[in-house]
Each structure stands twice: as structure tokens, then as C-alpha cells.
Amino acid sequence: MRYKGFVIFTLFLFNIITIKPKAIDEKDSLYIDNCKRDLLVLMMAYSDEIRDIEVSEDNYIYLVLNNNKKIIYDDKKEKNKNAKILDADIQDTLEDIYPLDSINSVLEGMDPGRGRSYTFLNSIYGGNQNEIEKNLDFFSTYCGNIMFNKKAKAGEALKNALNEAKELADKDNRVNNYIFPISGSYNYRVIQDTGRLSPHAYGIAIDLNRNDSDYWKWVDKSKGSKRIEEYPKELVKVFENNGFIWGGKWEHFDILHFEYRPEIILKSKFFGDTSKSNNKKWYEGAPLNDEIENIINIINSKL
């Protein structure tokens, strides 16, 4: 009996010593791989704004902008779902993979992109109303002149999306009813019932034609789902292909709302399936060209 007890005790010790550290290592390397993917899509999407990354001595990762501002990537605070919306850092905003497939009902349990890092938005698009307005411009589209932020090619992307939407509408007149009249673009305001600035305040969001079932606070999920089901899938695709996420793909749906978040779209495109497989290079899924390889080298040299 004594011998048996000794064997069990030894096996117990063995488990503690060998298995536990391995589990931690695996978690760390998955975390680091995911950081690298996030940094790659950020440096691609904001190539005119982000010039480098830095890792501090206490292991915090920072984006370094051309104006030498440094923005923390992951504040490493424990956050529940709500805090990831209210107090998001960049890592939080890229955590849920935004689904690029078409949907026919309200998404359950996730709001990919609904959380925003205000430090990031302030640094890229302007830190107050005055700064933001200096970065705005009118973009001429078939829906008229629309005021949008010109930083990070947001306005150009809007123009391209609306041009492609027009081609769709020419083929299918029904699409026009979902676009016209446009409900709003730049508007320096907070999100209803919150103290947080709306992405409309940065000039990076547009609301297309409004329907009474468009917002999660106005109607229940079944009405939202009905509206999502009939919403033209191709219209959503056109915006997504130009770097916009659709508020229709949030559990807290906002169906008329499209928001320029090119890093989120790139992450889904390149790495949407990566989490399902192992033994790959962290950047597998991204197309390789000189620009991207250069970014990969920078990231590999820092992390």
C-alpha cells in the first residue's frame, strides 16, 4: 500500500512539473501569434500612420505613429464582455473575428468591432472636434458630397464603396431603397445613452436609409432578424470589401450603420480560419508581397 501511495504521489508531482508549464507555454505562444497577426493587419490598414512597434521592458506592446505618439496594444486588464466595449484597447477590438459570410438573422453573443479604442481613434483621426474637422473633406459620390475623414484613406474607401453600390443598384433597383436617402455621416455626437463618442464623430461611419427595425433598442431580435434577412447581401459585401464593418453583424444590431475599420476586415480575410488549425507560420493566410514581408520582418524582429 505504501508503495502504491508513493507511485500515485510521484505521478501527481510529475503532472505538476511537466504538464502545467507546457499548458502555459502553449497559451503564451498562441497569444503572441495572435498579437503578431493583429499588428500585421494594423500596419497594413494604417500604413500611412503607423511606422513601428515597440515592446517595453515590462512587456507591453506599443504602436508607434509617424507623429511619434505611442499607443498601447493590450493593457492586459481583466475585462468582462461589457468592459471590452466600454474600455476597449486595440487587442479587445480585434478579439472577436468579424464574420465575412452573409447572415440571415441577428448574431448571437458577439459584437465584432462594436468596441473601439478611443486612444487609437483620437490618434489617427483627431483628438477633439477641432482636430477631427481639420481632417475632414467632402467626397463626391453619386449620393452627393459626403463629409468623411481623409486620414487612413477612409474617405477614399467610402467613395469606392458607394461607386460599387451604384453599380449594384443599376442592376437591381431594390438596392436603391436600402441606400437612399442616406441618414447621416459626419456628426460630432455621443452614442445614445452613453458618454462615448460615436464613430460618426470621427467621420468614419455612414448610416444608409433608415428602417424602423434597424436598431437593437427600437425592436426585438425577431424584427431585427427579418430586416437582416431581406437586407441585400451584395450591398454589405461591397462595403466589407472596402474596409467597412456592418452594424448588422452585431448582437446589438445597428443595421443602417457601416463603419470604416479596415484592420478588422483584413484580420477576418487573412486569419478567419487560422484559429482552427495548428503548426502554421503565424502569418499563414496573408498574401505575401514586398510590403507585407517587410512588415512581417519588423514584427518578427520585435516579438
Where does this chain bind Zn ion (CB under 5 A)? 205, 207, 257
Least distance (Å) between residue 246 CB and Zn ion = 11
In the complex, the smallest distance separating the C-beta of residue 243 from Zn ion, rounded to whole angstroms, is: 16
> Least distance in Å: CB of 185 to Zn ion?
9
Min dist. Cβ of residue 86 to Zn ion (A): 18
Per the CB < 8 A criterion, the answer to whether 189 and 196 are in contact is: no
List CB contacts of 5: < 8 A, sequence separation 6 or more: none
Q: Which residue is nearest to Zn ion (CB)?
A: 257
Q: Which is nearer to Zn ion, 44 or 255 (CB)?
A: 255
Q: Which is nearer to Zn ion, 37 or 257 (CB)?
A: 257
**Quick one: 179 or 299, whose CB is closer to Zn ion?**
179
Smallest separation, CB 271 to Zn ion (Å): 27
Q: Which is nearer to Zn ion, 96 or 207 (CB)?
A: 207
Q: Which is nearer to Zn ion, 61 or 143 (CB)?
A: 143
